[in-house]
Structure 1
C-alpha cells in the first residue's frame, strides 16, 4: 500500500503520515492511531516504540 492510499484510508495528509513514518512526530491522536491500526490490520504496539533521549535522566 502506498503512503497516498494509506493517507486516504486514515484521513490524514501524506505529509503528516510521512512525519509519523519517519519518527519525527511528537504526538499522535488516539483516533489516528486507531485508524492506522484498522487500515494496517495491526496493534498499536506494532507501530510504536519507546526510545529514551540522551537528555533523559536514568
Structure 2
C-alpha cells in the first residue's frame, strides 16, 4: 500500500477520508496486521487508489 500511496501522492489520512475507514484501521491493513477485510472496504481502497485487488494483497507461503 505504501508504494500505491506514494505513486498517487496520497497520505494515509487522505485515503482514510476518501474511503471512510479510520486511519488506525488502514494502518493495521498497511502494516500486514489485519486478519480480515470487508469486501466493501477492499473495493473502496482499490477505487481510491485506482488499482486492482492483486496490487494490494499478497500471499506469504511458508515452505
Normalising TM by the smaller chain, what interval? 0.7 to 0.9
Q: Which has the higher contact order (CA 8 A, sep 6+)?
A: 2
The list of structure 1 runs, each at least 4 consecutive aligned residues, that deviate by more than 3 angstroms after superposition, is none
- Using the size of structure 1 for normalisation, the TM-score is 0.87
Q: Which runs of 5+ in 1 are unaligned?
A: none
Larger Rg: 1
How many matched pairs?
A: 54
Structural RMSD (CA): 1.1
- Using the size of structure 2 for normalisation, the TM-score is 0.80
Q: Which runs of 5+ in 2 are unaligned?
A: 1-9
Structure in which a larger fraction of residues adopt helix: 2
Which residue is 2:50 aligned to?
Answer: 41
